[in-house]
Structure 1
Amino acid sequence: MGSAGTDDKDPLVIFTPSGKRGRFAKGTPVLQAARALGVDLDSVCGGRGICSKCQITPSFGEFAKHGVTVHEDALSEWNEVEARYDRVKGLISGRRLGCQAKVLGDVVIDVPETSQVHRQVVRKEASTKPITMDPATRIVMVEVAEPDMHEPSGDFERLKDALAQQWDVHQVSAALPVLAKLQTVLRKGKWQISVALFQPDEGGVAQILEIWPNLHEGGIYGLAIDLGSTTIAAHLCDLTTGAVMGSAGIMNPQIRFGEDLMSRVSYAMMQEGGATEMTRAVREAINTLAGQIAEDAGIDPKLIVETVFVCNPVMHHLLLGIDPVELGQAPFALATSDALRLSAPDLGLSTLNPQAQIYLLPCIAGHVGADAAAVALSEAPEQSEDLVLIVDVGTNAEILLGNKTKVLACSSPTGPAFEGAQISSGQRAAPGAIEHIEIDPATKEPRFRVIGCDLWSDEAGFAEATAQTGITGICGSGIIEAVAEMRAAGLLDGSGLIGSAEQTGTPRSIPTGRTHEYLIFDGTATGGPRITVTQGDIRAIQLAKSALYAGARLLMDQMDVEAVDRVVLAGAFGAHISPKHAMILGMIPDAPLEKVTSAGNAAGHGARIALCNRAARKRIEGGVRAIQKVETAIEPRFQEHFVAANAIPHKTAAMPHLTTVVSLPDVNFGASGGGANDDGRRRRRRG
């Protein structure tokens, strides 16, 4: 059988969402390839096709991002073991068993979340900030007049009369499924019924979404969904009280078509039916997520009568079933940028109530989406007295800069490195993943914490506390802190080069080819992973943080300012990365550290505001027109800022606030070393 890297002519196997890849001899089982690469693919039956935990989804077509074309015969044909399992228990369409499918050609293989040993921890928790309740859907109870032979009228007409008299609602409509059960419900309730009334505009037309006999005490619910490039996060909210009944998330299955947005646009362009395939995948995932979150909360999903979506423009179009091809080329035209009002059947969301209403926040511009609008709704930069920079970091960063005078917005393509992807030991946030790290500047020894354990690795009881999860890899917050700590400890110079053992004074700096890597943890003696930060990891983080900084700096240019008063870090990143590490890395412009704060999941909170307050929908629909859009893809200065930001923390920008907190070593591990020495000299002069 095969092993990774056997021969350049052997088939290339690429696993998503991890991004891990290797070449394997033809006939290698997918499960074996996954284990050789350290891919998180479950199996407990020893590869006999019994447990089904190793299910995978192969993808076919042209993948420009990965530089491969996957043919239909890239895997061995369906065998009797798979056929038997499908007959007995059923396999989801398109799935294969990793222990049975064998590699025959270049292939891209997605490992669905259900097949991963270490499931992702959703880090987009609901904000606790208060929301004024004024939902578009409410429950009202009415007493309907009984039919009278002397005054003939239909039951629905008498229901409308009751709503007008008892609730001052004068324009009412109902879909056929509601009308079909109206007579039964009325008589069961002895002419008293509860009505879920959807009225998006005060005094406007109301739609009856659901009816129940007598008083309905089961409540009605809505979903606020942040549809991200990497993660789909949802909050289930009580539409009467606004209480969050549950939060859950899953990975966006579109990752297998490309980790970043432009890769997905490219897939849609080059693969016939590619956009349709991605639309189907994300809608299926949303249906699954809705069912999961309702089940966890002990709620009938048919009581979910509203859903609000926020997403970037590419996700927006693919959710709607619109080909995103125009978003892949200037002038980046959206099919529509307005807010949209739809129903659950329009998006194939069969898990919800059949009459459930869908609201999509407006997009701001070609690459500045409804997620940025949601952040603006949550953080209200237009009401700020001081100049605030709001950064919502994900695979695509949404950046807002403004105050009461004006607000600017842009989107910056940071890529998936901040999510732990494209990192040698990287993984999604899951129990066992390193999330925080410190490196002693004197000894160069690391200590770390993993998700699921509050102890540091050098504290008593750590080994016992992590025995079940193990130490499995490093997630996005961990790799960001690791790079910043390496810079502060003198393991990394200003240009991003890792020094040798002789240069750094630690055997943890290990040669690998022409570069070096820093060893954080070696668990190979007990069958665990070897976790390092490689030169390639540093470059991936440099590219991501440079794009983020360049976007922020571009907005500052447009505002004609050299500094901001405060910085708000939003998203999963914002809640888990310390301001000091963000500043050392040079992700954000220099600012007083006490003025760098976390807003948590601002986009998700904005979605909840729109779900629970119909006036907020009007406010953001008007507000996006006042936001000035800056398109990074066509701004010449973006590239200038990007190149200068490649240094850690920055090649030219002054960092006066950072230097009061930390003194970065003046080290240079390259041949010329200008960048690092320049940084050091500038810092000494300012001191």
Structure 2
Amino acid sequence: MKKNVYMKKGENILQGLKERNISFYAPCSGKGICGKCKVKIKNSTSNITEEEIKHLSKKEIEEGIRLACKTYMSEDGEVEIDYDINGCKNDLKKIKYNTKSFIQQKYIKIDLENGVSVIDIIKKQLNNVYIDNEMMRNISNINYNEGINITLYKDRIIDIKNDNYFNEKYGIAIDIGTTTVAVYLLNLNTGEQISVKSFQNPQAVYGSDVISRINYTIENKKGIDVLRQKIIKEIDYNIGLILDQFNIDRQEVYKCVIVGNTTMSHLFWGLNLNTLSKIPFIPINREMLYDRACNIAFDNMNKNAVVIFLPNIAGFLGSDTVAAMIEADFINNDKNILLIDLGTNGEIVLFTKKSILACSTAAGPAFEGANIKFGMQAFDGAINKLNIKEDIEYETINNKKARGICGSALVDIVSEMKKSGIINKTGKINNPEKIKNDKLRNRVLKKDKKYEFKITENISITQDDIRQLQLAKSAIRSGINILMEKQKISIQDLDYIYLAGAFGNFINKESAKGIGLIPNVDSDNIISLGNAAGEGAKKFLCNDNLEEDINYYMNNTEHVDIAKYENFQEEFLKNIYL
């Protein structure tokens, strides 16, 4: 779908989109490096730049396509953007979770008597609960001749009403990913998942990775506030959309559980990121944090709803990793399990009977398509599967016309090119003369003195694309190997590999093994957990007893800084090979 945006004379288009709170895919944050922020201009603009000439085809330039980050309006006018990459996805799949919620509703009557206060009476009936000043003001306005309905979270009153009707209790679970945010609505009485919406993280316009966003907050005085407000407003807006869709009263939403990497949690709470920007990458906070919805500006839930952000492990191991361990259920396991969350920031956890080791790897945005010439996120029209027989065969998301390549297909393509002899183990595209298959040979073209492999008339894989995948792959595999070496276990000792994250959910296991991204274990023992972070958040949303497990994972997971590993460079170079 297309969207027209009105711009003023002199405005930089990308900056104008930021100021209008329009989430737009700009992975390099306006540096002109990625070539992804393409827009169609309907009026006069500044002259085309060298960066645009490098990234845009002659046909695109003739059609008025420009890079938003490098283009300024010469007059007031319209800019057309592809808006389907920024829209929400809604999944109505019904799931139920175990419910053991600390949110309780109790109906009491207040009989006034001499020598005691109203608060004394309430505390006596509810076993000495905590009542803050604001709730005390609310209680003072209650009609004491009627019974009152009190909602509690643990030992704290969070809502009070003058009726004996017990409301439904709803909760929101949120996974703040660097690229994508998922918001889940659940019924806390039944444990039923009602809906989920996912959308692009609005902070992505300031950079596709956490380092870019950390740098933005350091280079801009109000950077933390800008990024914080963007994510809070977008989350609250999407919560409202879900509640409206199902006609749910906002006052019945009493709990919200959030997970994300350490940078996302710091930005959410407005914490300074300076200590995360330099060695030894120390977070300001690791513990689980609580607050009321009204203090965060979450308007689409009960103002006293408890908002909980799960704890972090280290500077680049956040609560999303803790939540993924909840989903993996390590505590109730006696197997050797490798948990891998494949994404811009790769998180790896090795669980054995002896210990829990974890590390993070800077895989970069290749798996999200950011540094790939025709790469894109997993939206309609993205090639998501490919294999090579006599010629190539591919599928696109929702069977739409091919627009680009997403991460799962990138792994397929490189694996299949290797098997077919189009590239060698170093990742180099072979001279076409060495390729026996005529159809495949004709797909290898030379552009700018480098070979690339043609997939469709307008989409190809370049030598640089393959190198980007090799770097991402080596980062992940090096982390895996270092954890296994530290724990002194071999591939044969692994019982299971769990793949987490959207990318991990759709990746072809054989292709991943084929390029050496993951260890070569039996595919039946490689299990896709889907969005494990989101699943862990939902489980804790419904079951407060899991707090003990969460604290165990936070306190008993040893963070391994692989960059300090003495043979890291050697390991990384070794794993570059396919």
Residue-by-residue CA offset, 1:465-495 (whole Å, 9 max, x unaligned) = x4xxx32222222222222222222222111
Question: Counterparts of 2:91 and 2:515 in 1: how far apart (Å)?
Answer: 23
Question: Counterparts of 1:283 and 1:347 in 2: how far apart (Å)?
Answer: 8
Shift of residue 155 of structure 1?
5.2
Give the aligned partner of residue 102 of structure 2: 136
Deviates more, 1:544-553 or 1:482-491: 482-491
User: For 1:476, which of 376, 400, 407 is the aligned residue?
Assistant: 407
Q: Does 1:509 align with 2:444?
A: yes
Q: Does 1:608 align with 2:575?
A: no
Q: Does 1:439 align with 2:388?
A: yes
Shift of residue 339 of structure 1?
1.1
Shift of residue 623 of structure 1?
2.9
Point out the structure with max Rg over C-alpha. Answer: 1
Give the aligned partner of residue 79 of structure 2: 98
Give the aligned partner of residue 26 of structure 2: 17
Shift of residue 337 of structure 1?
0.8
Shift of residue 636 of structure 1?
3.2
**What secondary structure sits across from 2:456 in the alignment?**
strand
**What secondary structure sits across from 2:548 in the alignment?**
helix
Using the size of structure 2 for normalisation, the TM-score is: 0.84
Q: Is the 8 A contact 1:144 1:158 kept in 2?
A: no
Shift of residue 158 of structure 1?
4.3
Question: Counterparts of 1:542 and 1:369 in 2: how far apart (Å)?
Answer: 25
User: For 1:587, which of 497, 517, 522 is the aligned residue?
Assistant: 517
Q: Cα gap change, 1:387/1:613 in structure 2, threshold over 3 Å: closer, same or farther?
A: same
Aligned alpha-carbon RMSD (Å): 3.4
Using the size of structure 1 for normalisation, the TM-score is: 0.71
Give the aligned partner of residue 85 of structure 1: none
Q: Cα gap change, 1:75/1:26 in structure 2, threshold over 3 Å: closer, same or farther?
A: closer
User: For 1:546, which of 468, 474, 484 is the aligned residue?
Assistant: 474
Question: Counterparts of 2:463 and 2:367 in 1: how far apart (Å)?
Answer: 16
Residue-by-residue CA offset, 1:27-55 (whole Å, 9 max, x unaligned) = 2699xx89x949xx9xxxx99xxxxxx9x
- How many residue pairs get aligned? The number is 536
Q: Cα gap change, 1:311/1:210 in structure 2, threshold over 3 Å: closer, same or farther?
A: farther
Q: Is the 8 A contact 1:304 1:353 kept in 2?
A: yes
Shift of residue 432 of structure 1?
1.9
Residue-by-residue CA offset, 1:428-462 (whole Å, 9 max, x unaligned) = 2112221111111xx2x111122124xxxxxxxxx
Q: Cα gap change, 1:119/1:305 in structure 2, threshold over 3 Å: closer, same or farther?
A: same
Identity of aligned residues (%): 27
Shift of residue 121 of structure 1?
6.9
User: For 1:449, which of 373, 379, 395 is the aligned residue?
Assistant: 395
Shift of residue 196 of structure 1?
2.3
Q: Report 1:289-304 matches (<5 A).
A: 289-304=238-253
Question: Counterparts of 1:181 and 1:12 in 2: how far apart (Å)?
Answer: 52
Q: Is the 8 A contact 1:174 1:208 kept in 2?
A: no
Q: Is the 8 A contact 2:86 2:199 kept in 1?
A: no
**What secondary structure sits across from 1:483 in the alignment?**
helix
Residue-by-residue CA offset, 1:344-363 (whole Å, 9 max, x unaligned) = 23333233221111111111
Shift of residue 117 of structure 1?
3.4
Q: Is the 8 A contact 2:92 2:194 kept in 1?
A: no
User: For 1:216, which of 143, 166, 187 is the aligned residue?
Assistant: 166
Residue-by-residue CA offset, 1:122-147 (whole Å, 9 max, x unaligned) = 5999895x64311122333x141355
The letter for the 2-side match of 1:509 is: V
Q: Cα gap change, 1:613/1:508 in structure 2, threshold over 3 Å: closer, same or farther?
A: same
User: For 1:331, which of 257, 266, 280 is the aligned residue?
Assistant: 280
User: For 2:555, which of 620, 625, 630 is the aligned residue?
Assistant: 625
Q: Cα gap change, 1:634/1:265 in structure 2, threshold over 3 Å: closer, same or farther?
A: farther
Question: Counterparts of 2:94 and 2:427 in 1: how far apart (Å)?
Answer: 36
Give the aligned partner of residue 84 of structure 2: 117
Q: Cα gap change, 1:610/1:290 in structure 2, threshold over 3 Å: closer, same or farther?
A: same
Q: Cα gap change, 1:13/1:284 in structure 2, threshold over 3 Å: closer, same or farther?
A: closer
Q: Does 1:260 align with 2:212?
A: no
Q: Is the 8 A contact 2:36 2:370 kept in 1?
A: no
Q: Cα gap change, 1:616/1:212 in structure 2, threshold over 3 Å: closer, same or farther?
A: farther
Residue-by-residue CA offset, 1:57-92 (whole Å, 9 max, x unaligned) = 988xxxxxxxxxx9xxx744884x6xxxxxxxxxxx
Shift of residue 551 of structure 1?
0.9
Give the aligned partner of residue 197 of structure 1: 152
Question: Counterparts of 1:503 and 1:226 in 2: how far apart (Å)?
Answer: 48
Q: Does 1:643 align with 2:573?
A: yes
**What secondary structure sits across from 1:479 in the alignment?**
helix
Q: Cα gap change, 1:127/1:241 in structure 2, threshold over 3 Å: closer, same or farther?
A: closer
Q: Does 1:356 align with 2:356?
A: no
Question: Counterparts of 1:326 and 1:124 in 2: how far apart (Å)?
Answer: 38
Q: Is the 8 A contact 2:340 2:349 kept in 1?
A: yes
Give the aligned partner of residue 559 of structure 1: 487
User: For 2:259, which of 310, 314, 317 is the aligned residue?
Assistant: 310
Q: Report 1:400-419 matches (<5 A).
A: 400-419=349-368
**What secondary structure sits across from 2:302 in the alignment?**
coil
Q: Report 1:108-187 matches (<5 A).
A: 116-119=83-86, 131-140=97-106, 142-145=107-110, 147=112, 151=114, 157-161=120-124, 163-164=125-126, 169-174=127-132, 176=134, 179-180=137-138, 183=141, 186=143
**What secondary structure sits across from 2:427 in the alignment?**
coil
Q: Is the 8 A contact 2:341 2:499 kept in 1?
A: yes
Deviates more, 1:247-256 or 1:270-279: 270-279
Q: Cα gap change, 1:76/1:212 in structure 2, threshold over 3 Å: closer, same or farther?
A: farther
**What secondary structure sits across from 2:264 in the alignment?**
helix
Q: Does 1:521 align with 2:452?
A: no
Q: Is the 8 A contact 2:26 2:36 kept in 1?
A: no
Question: Counterparts of 1:415 and 1:301 in 2: how far apart (Å)?
Answer: 39
**What secondary structure sits across from 1:645 in the alignment?**
helix
Shift of residue 318 of structure 1?
0.9
Q: Report 1:54-93 matches (<5 A).
A: 75-76=72-73, 79=76
Q: Cα gap change, 1:232/1:631 in structure 2, threshold over 3 Å: closer, same or farther?
A: same
Q: Does 1:27 align with 2:46?
A: yes
Give the aligned partner of residue 662 of structure 1: none
**What secondary structure sits across from 1:213 in the alignment?**
coil
Q: Is the 8 A contact 2:427 2:467 kept in 1?
A: yes
Q: Cα gap change, 1:593/1:381 in structure 2, threshold over 3 Å: closer, same or farther?
A: same
Q: Is the 8 A contact 1:156 1:182 kept in 2?
A: no
The letter for the 1-side match of 2:421 is: G
Q: Is the 8 A contact 1:12 1:22 kept in 2?
A: no
Shift of residue 639 of structure 1?
2.4
Question: Counterparts of 1:212 and 1:489 in 2: how far apart (Å)?
Answer: 73
Q: Is the 8 A contact 1:172 1:208 kept in 2?
A: no
Q: Is the 8 A contact 1:221 1:305 kept in 2?
A: yes
User: For 2:464, which of 518, 536, 539 is the aligned residue?
Assistant: 536
Residue-by-residue CA offset, 1:322-350 (whole Å, 9 max, x unaligned) = 12111111111111111111122333323
**What secondary structure sits across from 2:510 in the alignment?**
helix
Shift of residue 295 of structure 1?
2.6
Give the aligned partner of residue 653 of structure 1: none
Q: Is the 8 A contact 1:381 1:404 kept in 2?
A: no
The letter for the 2-side match of 1:517 is: E
Question: Counterparts of 2:415 and 2:329 in 1: how far apart (Å)?
Answer: 31
Q: Cα gap change, 1:220/1:383 in structure 2, threshold over 3 Å: closer, same or farther?
A: closer
Q: Is the 8 A contact 1:226 1:233 kept in 2?
A: yes
User: For 2:157, which of 200, 207, 214 is the aligned residue?
Assistant: 207
User: For 1:398, which of 332, 347, 350 is the aligned residue?
Assistant: 347
